[in-house]
Every structure is written in C-alpha cells, then in structure tokens.
Chains A and B, each alone.
Chain A
Amino acid sequence: MGGRGNMKAGKTADVQPPVPDADARDAMGRPVSHRKTEVRLGREVQAQIGQQLRAMYDAVVKEGVPQHINDLVRRLSEQDDGAA
C-alpha cells in the first residue's frame, strides 16, 4: 500500500475527505475530541447565523424605497404643515 500511495500521492491527497482525523489538534495543540467537535459545530453555526442574518436583511434592503413610500415622503415634505 505504501508504494501505491507514493506513486499516486497527488491523487490520494485529493480524494481524502477534509475531516480532521483522530490525531488532529486544535489551535491550542489539544486533540480534537468529540467534545471539541461539538464546540466547532457551534462556531460554524455562529458564522452561519451572521451570514444568513445579513443575507435576509439585505434582500429587503435591495428592494430600495417602495414607490408609495417615496411618494408619501416627497408629498409630506412639500406640505406647509408636515404630516399633521
């Protein structure tokens, strides 16, 4: 297996899943245990939250100013008496 592995080293590396194996260490040099995986999932979800929150919000922002609201503001700002 070692010889084959050497010959196809490039391909083998491509096929390997990007999942940390049992020897993986985190930034502090500690083993990435099951518990660590839970925490990391939490961080991924946190990043996802920020992204989805902004995506949801920006989808509305991109719609701009609805015509009727634009008309309303312009009409009111021309009046002598504001919106009274």
Chain B
Amino acid sequence: MKLDPAIRDQVLAAVPSLRAFAISLCGNIDRADDLVQETLLRALAHIDSFQPGTNMPAWLFTILRNLFRSEYRKRRREVEDADGRYAETLKSHPEQTGRVEFEEFRAALAKLPSDQREALILVGASGFSYEDAAGICGCAVGTIKSRVNRARTRLADLLAIDNVDDFGPDRATRAVLAGGGRN
C-alpha cells in the first residue's frame, strides 16, 4: 500500500531537524546524511509501527539514535576523526556568532561524552521536552536532566578555559577553577 501523503509530509517536515541532530552526533555531514537516509529507509519500511497522532519527530529521532548507537560501536574511529569537518560543510555559518567563537564552541561540544551531548542537543536545540528526550534515549527523565546539567557545566568549563587568554595574568587561577569543578 502507498504511504499516506499526510504521513509522508510529516516525515519530510522532520528531516531538517533530524539532519541537524545527526550532524551533531556524527560531526561529519556526509556520514550524517547517510545516517538520515538509513533512518528514513528503516522508518518507511516500518511505518506501520508508527501510531498516527503521536510525535513523528520523536519517533524518527529514536530510530536515528538507535542506528547511530549500533554503528558507533563499529566506527568509533570516524567519530574521533570528525573534528574540523563540521563548519566547512555548512553552507551558511550561524549568524549570531563569529567564526572563531563558533569553532571554539563546536570543538568544546565534541569533547563531551556522547550521552551528554545528545541530551543537551535534544533538549537545548531540538526543543524536545525532557520526557520526549528520555523516550528517544531510552532512559529515565531524571537521567536526561542530569546529563543536560553535566553537559552545560562541562561546556561552561571548556569555554571558560578557552576564554582565559583574554584575561591574562589570571590564567592559571581560572584554569584551576574551571578544571576543578564538581565532577
């Protein structure tokens, strides 16, 4: 049977955000697009298991995340390799931030453990509720909250360290403060 055009449009509407999530997971736009494509193939093949009226983006994000997780174990090396590719592959830079700032931020984000990074992205960028994010990641809501908090703290530390150069003599003090957090 053919796919209901309304469902198809819901799938298509979720693609831009799904791609952004995939890129944030992979750090590499080519791999991210492969991952999105694989996700859509799988989703459309199992479209019967999607319940109309429920959250299509959350359903697709769950599939993509599971694919990424199973693939990640096989291809860890490529994930480590991702640094530096991300900005080049974007057609447009974020307008609010300068290039250097953006590079620093992206590099800091890449240093986060993947479970913290994905939690932060889902809640802070994709706009999912903690509950939806917990569903996507297959964990408790409290776990998501804690991962988001740790991700924010760690990013703040990393960015504070990067900003130390601007403050000159206080460098060592700030580095110690930034590095000696509550972890």
Contact = CB atoms under 8 A, between A and B. Distances in A.
For chain A, which range describes its interface: under 10, 10 to 19, 20 to 34, or 35 or more residues?
Answer: 35 or more
A77 B94 contact: no
Chain B, interface SS category = helix
A82 B44 contact: yes
B121 A59 contact: no
B105 A56 contact: yes
Interface string B97-122: 10001100110010000000000110
Contacts, number: 128
B42 interface: yes
Interface of A: 38, 41-42, 45-46, 48-66, 68-70, 72-74, 76-80, 82-84
29 contacts: A38-B177, A42-B156, A45-B160, A46-B156, A52-B94, A52-B96, A52-B105, A53-B105, A53-B124, A54-B125, A59-B90, A59-B93, A59-B94, A60-B23, A60-B90, A61-B19, A61-B20, A63-B16, A63-B91, A65-B15, A65-B16, A66-B15, A68-B37, A69-B40, A73-B15, A74-B8, A76-B44, A77-B44, A83-B41
